[in-house]
Chain A
Amino acid sequence: MDYAIQAEGLRKRYGDTEAVAGVDLAVPTGTITGVLGPNGAGKTTTVRMLATLLRPDGGRAEICGFDVVRQAREVRHRIGLTGQYAAVDQKLTGRENLQLIGVLQRLGRRNAKQRAAELLERFDLTEAADRLSGTYSGGMRRRLDLAASLIADPAVLFLDEPTTGLDPVSRLDLWAMIRAEVDRGLTVLLTTQYLEEADQLADRIAVVDKGVVIAGGTPEELKRQVGEERLDVTLAHVTDGLAVANALSRVSSSEPTVSPDGRTVSLTLAGGVLGISTAVSALHDAGVEIVDLAVRRPTLDDVFIALTGNRQVEPTLEKSPA
């Protein structure tokens, strides 16, 4: 198989922190690989090394067959980078931003102008093209950022947490745009903290934690390990926990778990929506009083519980005390 991105044993250390501790990656040309991991896992550091911004302490990596250290210039001709923060000049208009990057990508002024207009159209920014990008919404700025990294038609695109901080609608928009680019033959390495995002976009997923890849495979393979959907049952009486676990063990594809406070029983649903009705009638038969019933898609947290048995991620809804 032909790989657009290949990395072997990539390492980077910051003082005492092994930010990246030996990462292997192989992304087949024309596909998307999602690098999934919590904050601090080493995703950004990995992308920065692959995009020639940071010199690895060890290991090697090639983009389209060019070494990221020794042939950085060749690599830079072939990549686009959309970093963790939308890198647009807020004092320039959307059009000026794209033209500037186009000229710096050696397209020539005329060509850069034309490509800028094309991309503004493709990313739905034509109307806002001549406004300062500082006045754009977060979603628009992200789209402009993506357009800028595509202006010279790169072979490989790096997307570092492209939808973090976006509202759900902007997120869906951006996903569709990324998919369209891959349909044109682009190879993408995408980092994300959301299993759903990796599932939606990626052909293959590499799960990283503490600077190493701890699991890899297609989204299907990964989800098979994690379980499709989970059902959380919140109880009226803490003492009912065991009865519920017993009643539900028949409809669950995994051992139901009870939360530490005893209020919530959580299980993997065996048969989607049908599983929910089975679960509800089983609870009814057991005479358990329920306060709330919630179905949720697996999260990064569930991936880590399934892969390592450990909670790795701080629950996002709880604010840590300052």
Chain B
Amino acid sequence: MNEVLTDWRALVGRHLLHLRRMPDKLISATVLPMVFVVLFGVLFGSAISIPNGDYHEFIMAGIFTQVMITAVPNTAIGMLEDLGNGLVDRFRSLPMSPSAVLVGRTVGDTALRAITCLAMTAVGYAIGWRLQGGILGALAGFGVLLLFGFTMAWLGALLGMRVRSPEAASSLPSVLLMPLMFLSSAYVPLGGLPAWLRAIAEWNPISAVAGACRALWGNPAAAGDSFAARNPIPLALLWLALILLLVVPSAVRRYRTAVAA
């Protein structure tokens, strides 16, 4: 166990060094999300109104949730690079823990997401958004968000070992996750949807994550009084635990035999 922790620490260290050495990555992980906050907050915030509060307050958790999904292509492409330049071969020829390379990459990516959150929060505050759930609520909300980003990073790592090209690694996540994104309460409060579609949207893990953040941050919630809509926090944690339970073992299994395409 001690040795496993040593491996994890070494690989997490590798990715934290990467973060410092890739200013372009830091810029792309902060600038675009900040632009989103301004665009949605200022432009749509005043144009759209929702029944139980301010759209501007409502949309922030949705933007945060959407931005976390960048973890999928980002991790997938990184994994493909490690496979392509022979690093995975080298790591696999060492007597090290098979999970360490993946843990390093996913934790490193989550650190990048945390920086994204900070940048977005700063811009959000500048345009009038407020965290209204107290310090603990605020931290817990970001915790859920980063757990979601961490989960998406593992999904990306698995994807990176299954696809053959960086093009596929960057386009597949949007193709697969876009519909899930729009069929959720990330952007819209769901009030106007037909009942069956609304049920799907309410149970959607993305709605659960955005809903959990809204609840913890004291921001207006999506409409609805179903079980899913009333309990976003446990639902979000359950979803993320379930996805991690599926994805982590299969990614580690895949890694044990991973070869470059």
Contacts and interface: CB of A to CB of B under 8 A. Distances in A.
Interface of A: 48, 51-55, 73, 76-77, 79-81, 83-92, 96, 100-101, 103-106, 132, 148-149
Contact of A86 (B21, B86, B91): B86
B158 to A, nearest CB: 19
Nearest to A99: B10
Given A76-B95, A91-B18, A53 B6 contact: no
Contact of B93 (A76, A89, A92, A96): A76
A168 B123 CA distance: 56
Contact of B94 (A88, A90, A96, A104): A104
B7 interface: yes
B257 interface: yes
B93 A100 contact: no
Given A76-B95, A104-B94, A105-B94, A83 B89 contact: yes
A55 B10 CA distance: 27
A87 B86 contact: yes
B253 interface: no
Nearest to A55: B257
Contacts of B130: none
Interface of B: 3, 6-7, 10, 13-14, 17-18, 21-22, 85-87, 89-96, 100, 257, 259
A84 B3 CA distance: 29
Nearest to B87: A87
Nearest to B260: A85
B115 to A, nearest CB: 17
B17 A96 contact: yes
Contact of A87 (B6, B18, B21, B85): B85
Given A76-B93, A149-B90, 17 more contacts: A52-B92, A52-B93, A54-B257, A76-B95, A77-B95, A80-B93, A81-B89, A81-B90, A85-B86, A87-B89, A89-B87, A91-B17, A92-B17, A100-B14, A104-B94, A106-B6, A148-B90
Contacts of B21: 91, 132
Given A55-B257, A83-B90, A91-B18, A105 B85 contact: no
Nearest to A84: B86
Classify the interface of chain A: helix, strand, loop or mixed.
Answer: loop
A100 B259 contact: no
Contact of B95 (A48, A88, A105): A105
A231 B22 CA distance: 55
Nearest to A93: B17
6 contacts: A51-B93, A87-B85, A87-B87, A100-B14, A104-B91, A105-B94
B87 A54 contact: no
Contacts of B257: 54-55
A101 B14 CA distance: 11
Contacts of A73: 95
A53 B259 contact: yes
A259 to B, nearest CB: 40
A88 B91 CA distance: 11
B7 A104 contact: yes
B95 A83 contact: no
Contacts of B3: 106
Given A76-B93, A81-B93, A104 B85 contact: no
B78 to A, nearest CB: 11
B14 A89 contact: yes
A156 B100 CA distance: 24
B84 to A, nearest CB: 8
Nearest to B21: A91
A99 to B, nearest CB: 9
A106 B95 contact: yes
Query: Would you list the 10 A-B pairs with minimal beta carbon distance, nearest first?
Result: A87-B86, A76-B95, A87-B90, A81-B93, A85-B86, A83-B86, A104-B96, A103-B10, A91-B21, A77-B95
Contacts of A89: 14, 87
Contacts of B259: 48, 53-54
Nearest to B92: A53
A227 B131 CA distance: 82
A51 B259 CA distance: 13
B17 A53 contact: no
A55 B256 CA distance: 11
A80 B95 CA distance: 11
Nearest to B19: A91
Contacts of A103: 6, 10
Contacts of B13: 100
A229 B209 CA distance: 73
